[in-house]
Structures are given as structure tokens and as C-alpha cells.
Amino acid sequence: MSTPNFNIQRATEADLEELQSISMRTFCQAFERFNKAEDMELYLTNCLSIEQLHTEMNTPGSEFYLGRMGNEAVGYLKLNHHNSKHDALDTKGLEIERIYVEEAYLGKGIGPALFTFVRELAEQGNATHIWLGVWEHNSRAIRFYEKLAFIPFGTHVFMLGNDTQTDILMRKELYS
């Protein structure tokens, strides 16, 4: 599907407020109807504050990208190069820690365009695979990743506020 007027650019400190806004908005769109309000509020406050996003943006090997239709941010990515928090993963992979699209733009080719961008970055960086974690109850996202040839290889714990949740770890090999 074509995405005219769509571009992806690396987020900088000048984009922090916009990054926080789209991060909070898309996270709520994806998960608030499935989770307790107090757990959502704790996550938003602790994990998507300007201070936390600034820290993550300045972590070596981590990058944020904004996907825009014209001047409007409609999606974003957080990628981690060779700095996985998961011991089971080697340093040859590229992690998609966050990939979100505004609800109004789902099904309009933004997700595939973001993934194509990630794949190109991974190949340029000689990564052998791309991997991510997805909430076990997020069936729409799981189907999307399966269409992209991601396969499950494990699980890990994700804390949403005080709620312990399980993410499925999925991996896509780049070179067979």
C-alpha cells in the first residue's frame, strides 16, 4: 500500500514534547481498554515522561524515529542497536523496542513503511535479525509481525504499572 507524503526522520531533543505526545496517545489507544487506569497512569508517568524519553534518547545505541504524514507525527519507533536487556539475545540483532501507529492510520500502510525502514537500517548495520516483544494479548500486532515472517522464540516479563504481563519475543532472520 502506498503512503504518499509519508517520511521518517530521526527524533532529536527538539522533538521530545511531540515524541512524548505521540508515545502517550498511541500507547493509550493500544492498551487502555484492556488495563486498569492506575496501571496505565503509572506506566505513562514513569516510562513516557519527558525526562525518561530524554534519558532513552541519549542512551548509546538507542534511537527514536518519527513517522510523519506531512508535518503530523502519525507513528514512531524506538530502536536499540546491540544493547539488548535480554541475555538470551546476541549483539547481532536490532531490537524494535517500540513501534506504534496512530489508530486513525492503522491499515493505511504506515506500519509496513516503518518496518521497511527498520529492515533497511538493520541491513545497513549488518544485523543478522530483527527482534521485538509483543504483549501476548495483542493479537492484531502479533498477526502483523507474523505476516512479516517474525517467529516466536520466548517470553519475558513486562511491567505495566503494578501489573506483571507477558510479552512474546519474536524474531525475524535477515539472512538465511
Place of cell 535480554: 86
Catalytic residue among 43, 65, 145, 175: 145
Is 145 in the active site? yes
Are 58 and 73 in contact, with CB atoms under 8 Å apart? no
Strand ranges across the sheet with 72-81: 6-10, 62-69, 72-81, 93-101, 129-135, 163-173, 151-160
Quote the CA–CA distance of 4 and 132 in Å, as a whole number.
27
What residues have CB less than 8 Å from 137, skipping those under 6 apart?
Answer: 34
Are 56 and 82 in contact, with CB atoms under 8 Å apart? no
Per the document, the length of the chain is 176
Within 19-150, strands assigned E span 62-69, 72-81, 93-101, 129-135
- Catalytic residues, by residue number, are 145
